Amino acid sequence: MKALVTGGAGFIGSHLTERLINDGNKVLVIDDLSTGKMINIEHLKDNPAFSFRKGSILDVDFLRKAITECDVIFHLAAAVGVRNIMDNRLKSILTNVRGTDLVLELACEKKQKVLIASSSEVYGKNETLPYCEDSDSVFGPTTTHRWSYAAAKAVDEFLGHAYYQERKLPVVIARFFNTCGERQSGQYGMVLPTFVKAALKNETVVVYDDGEQSRVFTDVSDAIDAIMLLMENQDAIGNVFNIGGQEEVTINELAKRIIRITGSASTTRHVPYDEIFKNGFEDMRRRAPDISKIRKLTGWKPKVSLDGLIEKVMHHFKHQFENQKSN
Ligand SMILES: NC(=O)c1ccc[n+]([C@@H]2O[C@H](COP(=O)([O-])OP(=O)(O)OC[C@H]3O[C@@H](n4cnc5c(N)ncnc54)[C@H](O)[C@@H]3O)[C@@H](O)[C@H]2O)c1
């Protein structure tokens, strides 16, 4: 099988590419390298099962050629990260809405199965937890730009359902909850890698707001297991699934654990959202998934604990810092 991974030079995409190749598949990665990096896929470049083309999913001819060559599509390319979304407003919306529409439309020509990478952001600020797949999406006003990512991912899901129902395109939708691990940069506002990096450098760990907001973190290897199981299962088609960890933790507790596990001398400092993001910012207090739907269909459940995940990210950055020193 030849798989197309859009956004394959990114964090999750590079891990998925690795897994697909290890499982005996060929993979074509397309990526515009906006947040992805060649270094994420450098180790694959001499593998005959791997190929890479730099370009955008918004370039129709480029995308059509890539889609035509492949048997299955993992659509991960997106504008991600709170900072990136806030700083590149129009580009983010177009990438996340028009890009997904193009992938689905072009896939209709050969009817390849498509996985759409969606997000727990689609639940917005719904306060009824844990979130199951048919929980409400509750967004803030359109004047608060942070909601554009959530709304765009929700439109992607609507598009996925519509293409499945009206054009018979086999679509599977995965909603990732804060997925972390090796190669995630922390450059665009992802909390766990940002804290680990700060802790390893004994710098102040900056916690937004009062830090009592809580999240669930997922190890990327668990997320990849989940995607692979879903894409093998015919009954997943036309459906949406939460993919998330099991341990809900406040950001204060996360900071504490990271400081303990890294043996850091860092302290924490709380900063209001307004100081970081101008023009208003809103965030949800809690976010936690109900993962019974995917578990019932595939038997999947996450294997890596939060402490295990922190340790993996810590080793990744230690290694990276050592390499930087020796270069
Ligand atoms: N990491 C998470 O916690 C998380 C949570 C929810 C959803 N997701 C979704 O998973 C997917 C992968 O996210 P990630 O965390 O690996 O982020 P990432 O930034 O590492 O990966 C996204 C990739 O898409 C590429 N890209 C962006 N615009 C493109 C374009 N126009 N054409 C081609 N490539 C383009 C980027 O260069 C990058 O390599 C995204 O769709 C994201 O919305 C991730």
- In order, the DSSP letters of 198-221 are HHHTT--EEEETTS--EEE-EEHH
Report how far apart, in Å, the C-alpha atoms of 305 and of each of 180, 244, 262, 313 are: 12, 12, 16, 12
Q: Is 57 in the pocket of ligand 1 (CB under 6 A)?
A: yes
Q: Is 124 in the pocket of ligand 1 (CB under 6 A)?
A: no
Q: Which residue's CA is the nearest one to ligand 1's atom 11?
A: 76
Catalytic residue (choose from 131, 149, 164, 188): 149
Q: What is the DSSP letter of 243?
A: E
166: CB partners within 8 A, 6+ apart? none
One-letter amino acid of 212: E
Q: Which residue's CA is the nearest one to ligand 1's atom 20?
A: 10
- 268 forms beta bridges with 205
Residue 81: predicted pLDDT: 85
Q: Is 219 in the pocket of ligand 1 (CB under 6 A)?
A: no
One-letter amino acid of 122: V
- Which ligand 1 atom sits nearest the alpha carbon of residue 118? 7
Residue 29: predicted pLDDT: 99
- Tell me, in angstroms, the distance from the centre of ligand 1 to residue 77's CA: 5
Q: Is 149 a catalytic residue?
A: yes
Q: Cα–Cα distance between 182 and 40 in angstroms, integer?
A: 10
Question: What DSSP element (H or E) covers 275?
Answer: helix 273-276
Q: Which CATH superfamily is domain 2-183+218-247+286-304 in?
A: NAD(P)-binding Rossmann-like Domain (3.40.50.720)
Would the CA dihedral through 83, 74, 249, 199 be positive or negative?
negative
Residue 278: predicted pLDDT: 67
Q: Is 138 in the pocket of ligand 1 (CB under 6 A)?
A: no
What's the angle, vertex CA 179, arms to CA 170 and CA 246, rounded to 5? 95
Q: Is 239 in the pocket of ligand 1 (CB under 6 A)?
A: no
For ligand 1, pick from 5, 19, 35, 56 the residue to mutate: most ligand atoms within 8 Å of CB: 35
Q: Which residue's CA is the nearest one to ligand 1's atom 6?
A: 119
Model-wide pTM > 0.85: yes
Q: Is the peptide bond before 289 cis (omega within 30 degrees of 0)?
A: no
Helix, strand and coil in the chain, % to nearest 5: 45, 20, 35
Q: Which residue's CA is the nearest one to ligand 1's atom 27?
A: 78
- How crowded is residue 92: how many other Cβ atoms within 10 Å of its Cβ? 22
Q: Which residues does the chain have with pLDDT short of 50?
A: none
For ligand 1, pick from 80, 90, 224, 240 the residue to mutate: most ligand atoms within 8 Å of CB: 80
Q: Is 34 in the pocket of ligand 1 (CB under 6 A)?
A: yes
- Tell me, in angstroms, the distance from the centre of ligand 1 to residue 326's CA: 30
Domain ranges of the chain: 2-183+218-247+286-304
Cα–Cα nearest to 74, from 127, 20, 138 = 20
Q: Is 13 in the pocket of ligand 1 (CB under 6 A)?
A: yes
- Which ligand 1 atom sits nearest the alpha carbon of residue 188? 19
8 A C-beta contact, residue 286 and residue 250: no
Residue 284: predicted pLDDT: 84
What's the token pair of residue 148? 């554009």
One-letter amino acid of 256: K
Q: Cα–Cα distance between 53 and 66 in angstroms, integer?
A: 9
* Distance from chain centroid for Cα 217: 11
